[in-house]
Structure 1
Amino acid sequence: MGLSLKTLLVAGAALVAARPRPPPPSPFFVNHPIYTPPQGVRIMYPRVSELRDGTLLVAANVFGGDFFVGPDGNIPAFPVFESKDGGVTWKWISNITDQVNGWGMNAQPALLELRRPIGGYKPGTVLASGNSWSASGTRIELYASKDKGRSWEYVSRVTEGGRPNTTNGADPVWEPFLLHYEDELIVYYSDQRDPKHGQKLAHQRSKDLKTWGPAVNDVAYYDEYLARPGMTVVAHIPPLKKWIVVYERPIGNSSSHGANYPVHYRLADKPTEFDTGDEFPIVIDGNFAPNASPYVVWTPWGGKNGTIVVSDADNGDVFVNQRGADPAAWKRVKTGQRDAYSRALHVFEKHPERLAIIGGDTFNGSDFELTIGVLDLKKLLGEQKPRPGKPGRD
C-alpha cells in the first residue's frame, strides 16, 4: 500500500502513516503511491536500485514544509523507501543525511548496489550519492549502506564546485549518476567549472571509492559555449556490445519540434568514451521530440536487439527503439503513467518483462505524490521472445 506520511523529524525518528490504500490486484499497475507528502512539500527526482534479493529501494529529494532532518530542523535529506513485493507495498526505512558539510543533501540523489567488491566494500553494499549545497558551494558526496539502506556512512567527496547557480559563467556541479564498471566506480555529473563551456557532461573514476581521478569529458560542445548538456544517465545494450548515454541539450531561445530541452543520445564501446561518439536527437515521426530530464534502460524484450526505453519530463509515455538505436526507429508508447520531472525507469532483473516507472512532482510543481507504475513489456512491445542479456548491469 502507499504511505501518506505526515512528517519526518530527526534522523531515525518514526514516520506517521495515514490513508492506507489497498494494493493493486496484479503485478501490473500505474500511478500507485509510494509516498504522499503533506501540503506544501514537494517530492521529486526519484532514483531506484534493485537489490540482489529483488528488494526495490527508492530515494528522492524533498523541498518545502517540515520534511527535514537535523538538530536545527532545516537540513534536507533524501528519504529512502523499500518494497519487497515488486512495488506494491512500500515503507520508509531511512534518510540519507549530510554527515560532513552541515548543508544537507539537497537534490539529485543516485543509488547503486554493488555486485562485486570495490574499495573494501563487499557485494550487497548500497552506494548513494547526491548534491550537498549551500551559498558556499556544491559538493557531490558518496555514502554507503551495509544493511540494505537502513543506515549510511560517509565515504568520500567525488568533486565540488561553486554555489548552485545555473547561469553560464557560474561554476557549480550537478546531477550525479553511478555506474560500477569493471573494477571502478564511475560517477557522471554535469559540470559548469570549465570556462570553455556554459556546461558540459563529465565523469570521474575510483578504484577504492576514496580517491578520484581527473574529470573526463563525456559531452562537451567545443564550438558552442552556450550549449548546456545535462542530466547524464547511462545503460548497457548487450546485443550491440555498446553503451548508451542520454541527456538533455538546451538550445537557447529556439526549440526542436517543440522541445526546449530536447533529448539526445550517444553510443560508445565503453562507458568512458562517450566524448568520441556521434550525437543523435530522439525525434518521433519527424515532428516530435521528447523534452528534458531523460532516463534510459535496456530490456531484452522486443526482438533480436531487445528494446531501448527512454523517459522524459513532459510526457507520461515512453520512447522505444527496437532497431539497435537507429535514429529513425524511435516510437512513442503510451503507458498510463503520468509525467514528472526526472522520472526513473527500471527493468526488473528476475522479471525482465516488467518495466517500472517512478515519478514525483513536475518541474513547476503540481503537488503530486511519489508514484510507481509497473508495466507489462510483453503487452507494451508485443509477444516477442526476449534477447539473452541482463538489464541494467555491466
Structure 2
Amino acid sequence: MRSLGLFQFLLGCAVPFLGTIDRVGAVVSNPKPTPFTDFTDYIFFYPPADAVSWKTLYARSLQLPDESLLMTWENYPAEPPLVNHPIFKSVDGGSTWTNFSAIQDQVNGWGMRFQPFLFTLPQAMGRYAAGTILAAGVSTPKSLTGGVYIDLYASTDNAATWNFVSHVAYGAGPETTATGDAALWEPFLMVYNNQLVCFFSDQRDPAHSQKLSHVTTTDLVNWSAAVDDVAYANVGDRPGMTTVAHIESTNRYIMTYEYCGSGGCAVYYRTASSPLEFNSATGIALRSNGTSKRVPVSSPNVIWTKHPNRTDGSGLILAGAANEGAVYVNEDAADPAGWKLVDVGQWAAYSRSMRIVTIKGNKKLLFGNGGNMGNPAYNSVACGVTEIPT
C-alpha cells in the first residue's frame, strides 16, 4: 500500500534513528566517500526547497554489467511538470552520483508517482532481449482520483532512455489507503518459469481492505488475471509491501510483508517451493533471536546471497524493516529462531532497499534510503556500501 505501517508506528513510538541531526532538524550526511570503498549514511540527493509531501521516499537500486550503479525513488517536486521517477547513476561505487535519466509517464497524463522498481530481464521475453532493464511504478493523478495503473517501462540502452511497454494492472481509485478505495501499490518484479511476475498490494477486492496479489506475463504485454498471495479473513487487515527472494541453495522462495491491522504492521514472512504459491504457505512473524527479541515493523525488504565465507553453495537471507537500522540475518532454512540482528551502520528508512552488488570484483551490500514517513526534513536520498553481514 502507500503503506502507512511506519506512519502508524511513529504515532505511538519514537522516530527511528536517522543519523546526526543538525540544529534545524535535518539529517547530516557522512562525508563524501572515497570511490570504491565501504561507507554508510551518505546523502547524495537533497530535494529542492519547494518539494512537497514526503520530499523523497522508497529508494530502489540496480547494477549494470559494467558495475555502475543506478538509484531511483519516489520524488515529490512541486508540479507541474508531472512527477517522474528520476534515475541517478554512479560509476565510482556510490561516491559520485549524476542525474542520468527519468521514467516519465508517456501514456496517462498523470505522472509516475509512487513506488518505482528496477529489474534486469535475465532472459529474452516477447520482443525484449535478455539484459533489458525494466521499471515498474504506480501512475495516478496528483489528486489521487480518476484511476491508477501499475505501468511497465523498458530500456534497451542501459537506462539512458525509457519506453512504455504495458499496463500491468488497473484500479479505479481513489489512490488512498481507505477501505473500499480501489488502489494499487508497490510493484515487485521477478522471473519464474519463463514468466515475468509482478507482485503488488491490491485494494480492489471489497472483501479485503488490502491483500497481496500477483500477475504474470510471457511477453511483457499481456498480463494474467490477479492471483492472491496473502489475504486475511478479517476485512480490516492490510498485508502489504511484498518482496521476494530465491533461496538458491534449497530452490525455495521467501516473501516478506508487513501485516497491518491485526498484526500491528509487524513484519511477517512465508516460504514456498514456488513464488506463485505463497497463499498456501503459513505466515510467520519475524523476530530476532538471542535475548533482544527485536520486532521489525513496516516496509520490509528481503534478499538472498551466497555466503561470503563458504564454498559449499549455502547462503544467507537478509531482511530489514523501517524501524530498524540493523539487518536480520538467517540461514537458508529460514528457521523462525534463526534471525540474528547485525548492526551495519546504515540509517533506517521507509522501505530501505538492499542489493548485492560487485565493487571492483568484490561482493558488497548496497543500501538505498529514501527517507522516512515522519518529519519530511529528514527525507533526502542516502546510500551505503558495506560488507555482507553474517
Is the shorter-chain TM-score for this pair beyond 0.5, marking a shared fold? yes
1:116-131 correspondence runs (5 A) = 116-131=123-138
Structure 1 gaps, min length 5: 1-18, 382-394
Aligned AA (2:350): Y
Structure 1 segment 127-138 matched on structure 2, within 5 A: 127-134=134-141, 135-138=145-148
1:24 Cα deviation after fit: 2.5
Q: Which of 351, 354, 357 in structure 1 is aligned with 2:367? A: 357
In the TM superposition, what is the alpha-carbon distance from 1:318 to its structure 2 partner? 1.1
The CA distance in 2 between the partners of 1:322 and 1:180, in whole Å, is 23
Q: CA deviation digits over 1:325-362, x for unaligned, max 9?
A: 00011111111111111111001257564111110211
Of 255, 266, 271 in structure 2, the residue corresponding to residue 262 of structure 1 is 266
Query: What residue in structure 2 maps to residue 324 of structure 1?
Result: 333
Q: CA separation in 2, counterparts of 1:206 and 1:228?
A: 26
Q: Determine which of 242, 254, 277 is the counterpart of 2:281.
A: 277
C-alpha change, 1:89 and 1:329, in structure 2 (3 Å) is: same
> 1:296 Cα shift?
0.6
**2:33 and 2:39 in contact (8 A); partners too:** no
Match for residue 38 of structure 2 among 19, 28, 37: 28
Query: Relative to structure 2, which stretch is displaced further, 281-290 or 229-238?
Result: 281-290
How far off its partner does 1:114 sit?
1.3
Report how far residue 249 of structure 1 moved: 0.4
Distance in 2 (CA, whole Å) between partners of 1:184 and 1:87 is: 32
Shift in alpha-carbon separation, 1:197–1:147, aligned structure 2, 3 A? same
The within-5 A match list for 1:380-391 is 380-381=389-390
More moved, 52-61 vs 349-358? 349-358
How far 1:51 moved relative to its partner?
Answer: 2.1
Q: Which has the higher contact order (CA 8 A, sep 6+)?
A: 2
Distance in 2, matches of 1:36 and 1:203, equals 34
Q: Choose from 52, 56, 62 the match for 2:65.
A: 52
SS at structure 1 position matched to 2:325: coil
Determine whether 1:315 maps to 2:324: yes
Measure the CA separation in 2 of the matches of 1:55 and 1:118: 24
Q: CA deviation at 1:225?
A: 1.4
Consecutive unaligned residues of structure 2, counting only runs of 5 or more, are 1-28
3-state SS, counterpart of residue 366 of structure 1: helix
Q: Percent identity?
A: 38
Give the whole-Å Cα distance in 2 for the aligned partners of 1:22 and 1:198. Answer: 44
CA contact (8 A) 2:250 2:332 kept: no
Residue of structure 1 aligned with 2:115, choices 76, 92, 108? 108
State the Cα distance separating 1:312 from its structure 2 match.
0.8
Provide, for residues 209-260 of structure 1, a one-character-per-residue CA deviation record: whole Å limited to 9, x for no partner.
Answer: 1110110111111x221110000111111112101111100135xx6xxxx3
- Residue 246 of structure 2: aligned partner: 236
Normalising by structure 1, what TM-score? Answer: 0.84
Matched, 1:292 2:294: no
Structure 2 distance, partners of 1:115, 1:353, is 19
Contact 1:323–1:329 (Cα < 8 Å) also in 2: no
Is the 8 Å Cα contact of residues 299 and 352 (structure 1) preserved in structure 2?
Answer: no
User: TM-score, normalised to structure 2's length?
Assistant: 0.84
Following superposition, the deviation at residue 158 of structure 1 comes to: 0.6
1:159: how far off?
0.7
Instruction: Judge conservation of contact 1:46–1:359 (CA < 8 Å) in 2.
Output: yes
Q: Tell me which residue corresponds to 2:198.
A: 187
**2:90 alignment counterpart:** 83
Structure 2 equivalent of residue 347 of structure 1:
356
Contact 1:294/1:312 (8 A) holds in 2: yes
Shift of 1:52: 2.5
Q: Which amino acid aligns with 1:311?
A: G
Shift of 1:179: 0.8
Q: Which residue of 1 aligns with 2:225?
A: 214
Name the SS for the 2:150 alignment partner. Answer: strand
CA distance in 2, matches of 1:349, 1:207: 29
Deviation at 1:125, TM superposition (A): 1.1
Aligned-partner Cα distance in 2 for 1:314–1:144:
33
**One-letter identity of the residue aligned with 1:318:** V
